[in-house]
Homo-oligomer: A and B are copies of this chain.
Amino acid sequence: MITIRDVAREVGVSITTVSRALTDPEKVAPATRERIVAAADALGYTPNRAASGLRAGRTNTIGLLVPDLSNPYFAAVAMGIAERARVHKVAVFVTDSQEDLRAEVDLLRGLVQQTDGVVLCSPRAVHEDQAVIGTKPLVVVNHELPGAQSVAVNDLAGVASTVDHLYSLGHRRIAYVGGPATSWSDARRRSALAHARTRLPDLEVVELGAHAPTVDGGNIAAGVVVASGATAVITFNDLVAIGLVRRVHRLGLRVPHDLSVVGFDDTYLADLVTPALTSVHGDLSEIGRRATDLLLAELRPPRHAPASTTREPVLLPVQLVVRESTAPLLSRTSGSTGARPPELSPPLAHRDPP
């Protein structure tokens, strides 16, 4: 391994000067600096992250905790984080709670201890242990936590434009298939739906709640969706939408003919399935990039008052992408939806048991 000492010897200066030339170039004579940079380059010297951090009491590592890395949503966020981390020369300790609340709490504790700060993505568990979350900077994605910064997509606007889209297609009875009970996004979307209801008096919203944010969750939701008598459904994410569409097809209904389905997140899956999903698009990697930048901003200049006040959540814009899974209510041919039970004017359930 090639160290700062090798460079110093090569150039004939002290290691202090080398360190300065590389981290605080202003403080060293231009001529010296150039020779140092040249030598460092020639020798292929890279500062040892651990050692430099040790002195400064940092690890130069940030943590990333996601519920499920195989969910394309989180993969995209992780890519954004990796990209920014690389630029800032910090390592990323990536971990995956497998959607397990208990594991999430434990992993976060471990992560906080081992890193300078953590990006906590779409937490499902309740994190209130101040000994954990209070000690290090934390950026939360799709959630709010006291003392932590927050990055999210603007679900509110996403829901609003989705409702408008469906409404303009003639749908008046819309179901919502919710995600994990503790999901912040889920709560926000429900309140956006409530707001839409006041805006559009003749709109009925059937809230079906607490499904796993997976294809299987969508499968399971299919029954209640069909039973709800809704002509359109908004789902927690694309995976749920995909599972829902599959099962709905098996039940003998066609999407979008008999039921319009809208996904959320617009992962690349939305465009792979048949019919292609109408979905609420957000820049997923940008979430990761913003979260990382926010975290590093809190880490890097320790030169100002500890900003412990929770700032406003950073809200990224969204855009509804209309594809094949939504269609005008008009296109429905009477008689083709015989599979739907008739006795369902009042909502079957406002909230399912989780």
A residues in contact (CB < 8 Å) with B: 1, 44, 46, 48-51, 53-54, 57, 59-61, 69-70, 72, 75-76, 78-79, 82-83, 86, 91-96, 107, 110, 113-114, 131, 215, 242, 246, 268-269, 272-274
Contacts and interface: CB of A to CB of B under 8 A. Distances in A.
Contacts of A268: 70, 215
A125 to B, nearest CB: 17
B61 A69 contact: no
A102 to B, nearest CB: 15
Contacts of A76: 70
Contact of A242 (B46, B61, B272): B272
Contacts of A246: 272
Task: Specify which of A1, A86, A272, A274 lies most central, judged by the most chain B CB atoms within 10 Å of its CB.
Answer: A272
Given A93-B92, A272-B242, A69 B57 contact: no
B96 A93 contact: no
Contact of A69 (B44, B46, B78): B78
A70 B79 contact: yes
Contacts of A94: 78, 82, 92, 94
Given A72-B70, A93-B91, A131-B44, A49 B59 contact: yes
10 contacts: A49-B50, A50-B54, A72-B75, A82-B96, A91-B93, A92-B92, A215-B272, A246-B272, A269-B272, A272-B272
Given A69-B79, A79-B69, A215-B272, A51 B54 contact: yes
A329 to B, nearest CB: 24
